[in-house]
Amino acid sequence: MSTSTQFMHDVFGKVPTMINVKNDPLSEWFSNARGLQGRRIWLVGAGGTGVSGLARLLHKRGAVVSGGDSNASPAVTALQVEGFDISVGEAMEIPAQCDLLIATAAAKSDHPQLVAAAKKNIPVRSYAQALGLLQGGYTAVCVAGTHGKSTTTCMLTWCLLHAGFDPGFIAGATCESLGGSARAGAATLFKGPYCHKPGFLITESCEFDRSFHNLHPTTAIITNVESDHLDCYKSLDEILESFNVFARRLPPATDLGYLLIAHEGAQRERVTRDVSAAIETFGWNPAADYVVQMAANGLARVHHKHKEILRWQPRLFGAHNVLNGAGAGVMSLKLGADSDSVQEALTSFAGVDRRLEFVGAKNIGAQNIRVYDDYGHHPTEVRVTLEALKNATNPKRLICLFQPHQHSRTRLLLEDFGACFSAADHVLLTDIHFVRDAQSERALVSSQDVADRIRKHGGTVECVGTIEAGAARLNEIAQGGDVVVTMGAGPVYRAANIFLGK
């Protein structure tokens, strides 16, 4: 069986396998400083936030990177502007000269370019496998968890930059302060506990399809663990086992392996079972190793052994972002950053695109309507985001235009979705964004089912159909003093732009 065919069986079959970097024939390319020089790499799904970030990292390492995507997204346009040869459409073919094909997790096994690569015996790796290979040349810092990965990854990178390090990073979201979704960073560390080791590469590490089992962390943060991605996990027990497998990939404490895990909400006893790395916890609970506190004025503090080690005034809304900041701040200190620089960084951090991002305001007479956009698509994310936004903005009304993401997630978490909108005064639901699911899922649940559950919990809700219809309905009902938030992992952000006339 060829390398490409084996990859397709492993990654797109029912039980994905882990790539062992030491045994992978491509490991020399990625771990050697000049091993990628001149290698011709084609990306399937080049417009994905993670994949587009990987393109930049590979280019910095000397690879000749090109690729394709079915949609002309802003990420694709940005790559094209930077000089990458990225094709758009369904009919493109991989180049005649190609040394490696890297595929987004969204690519199906019958994708024409994957089939063509298998026929030509071109090596194929998934995005997660390629990222794991790339980590072989770095001191890898992984950020995992059901929620908060992108924000914490970017916060940690921002903190280390402020402390005089030159970290590489790759995230599943764009951070304007960091110049995008990825940066290459220095090759070697010259201070801190990892001095003279390879430079830091901070990576958002996703549990979808067990992809983070392909990563090779030196240190890691786990922010929380909940039921999600139930299209590839049968139960919370399977998810916990998956996080445990990830945590056990850390090196032992004697080799500087380190795990920082949330004291509450991460099922830490089960996740850390048989983990040989050093383990510490952070959270609100006084029993945590790093105790997080939040004052009435929003001031955040972290105490360790009854001594304050961090204090900052967050710019981002919500207690959940205080926890994200605490995780990033504590890990920064562990990696060698000084507390003054970390506090300054956490205070100045301006956020990540589509994470309670202020989009603009629409004037209505003497008042205005403030408009935000957020990527939240899990019931817990929806709940904490709406609560944080309402508390921070004190609107006349909070109106949420929500696009459910995936039929399977909506169906399996339906009751939770019904209860998570209580902070919103009015909810508009678009049709469910169809992605990855089997066609049969579409007949099993609809936005009307979500609306029925919201009404059962006393909410005011209506189904609007398309994103464009949602924007039109916002124009009809929004009044001066209201706050509007568009929310979801799909293209619902377009409604905010339409409503604002952008």
pLDDT, one tens digit per residue, over 392-418 is 999 999 999 999 999 999 999 999 999
For position 22, what pLDDT does the model report? 61
pTM reported for the whole predicted model = 0.89
DSSP strand pairing (168-175 vs 200-204):
parallel
Q: What is the mean pLDDT of the chain?
A: 91
Residue with tokens 């698509």: 377
Q: Pick 222 or 4 by higher pLDDT.
A: 222
* Residue 16 confidence (pLDDT): 37
The domains located in the chain, with CATH, are 3-131 (3.40.50.720), 138-348 (3.40.1190.10), 357-500 (3.90.190.20)
Q: How far is it, in rounded angstroms, from Cα 491 to Cα 502?
A: 15
Helices (H) and strands (E) counted in the chain, each on its own, are: 17, 21
Q: Which residues of 45-80 are buried (b: 16+ CB within 10 A; e: fewer)?
A: bbbbbbbbbbbbbbbebebbbbbbbeeebebbebbe
pLDDT value for 106 = 79
Which bin fits 19, alpha (ψ -120 to 50), beta or left (φ > 0)? beta
In the structure encoding, which two tokens stand for residue 280, read together?
A: 């510490």
What's phi and psi for 438, nearest 5 deg? Answer: -70, 150
Confidence of residue 156 (pLDDT cuts 50, 70, 90): very high
**What span, in angstroms and rounded, lies between the C-alpha atoms of 196 and 369?**
52
What are the angstrom distances between the C-alpha of 55 and each of 51, 73, 130, 188, 194? Answer: 6, 15, 11, 21, 27
Q: Measured on CA atoms in the order 177, 181, 186, 191, is the torsion positive or negative? A: positive
pLDDT digits (tens, 9 = 90+) for 21-75: 567 888 888 877 788 999 999 999 998 888 999 999 999 889 999 999 988 888 8
d(Cα 151, Cα 159) in Å, to the nearest integer?
12
pLDDT digits (tens, 9 = 90+) for 252-290: 999 999 999 999 999 999 999 999 999 999 999 999 999
* pLDDT at 454 > cutoff 80: yes
* pLDDT tier at 19, thresholds 50, 70, 90: low
Q: Which residue has the higher pLDDT, 93 or 117?
A: 117
Q: Are the C-beta atoms of 158 and 241 separated by less than 8 Å?
A: no
Q: State the pLDDT at residue 91.
A: 65
Q: What is the pLDDT of residue 21?
A: 57
Weakest-pLDDT range from 108-122, 199-213, 389-403? 108-122
CA distance 154 to 148: 10
Mean pLDDT of the 466-495 span: 96
In the predicted structure, residue 12 carries a pLDDT above the cut 60: no
> What span, in angstroms and rounded, lies between the C-alpha atoms of 215 and 203?
9
Instruction: Give the number of other CB atoms < 10 A from CB of residue 90.
Output: 8
Contact by Cβ (8 Å): 118, 110:
no
Residue 108: which pLDDT band, with cuts at 50, 70 and 90? confident
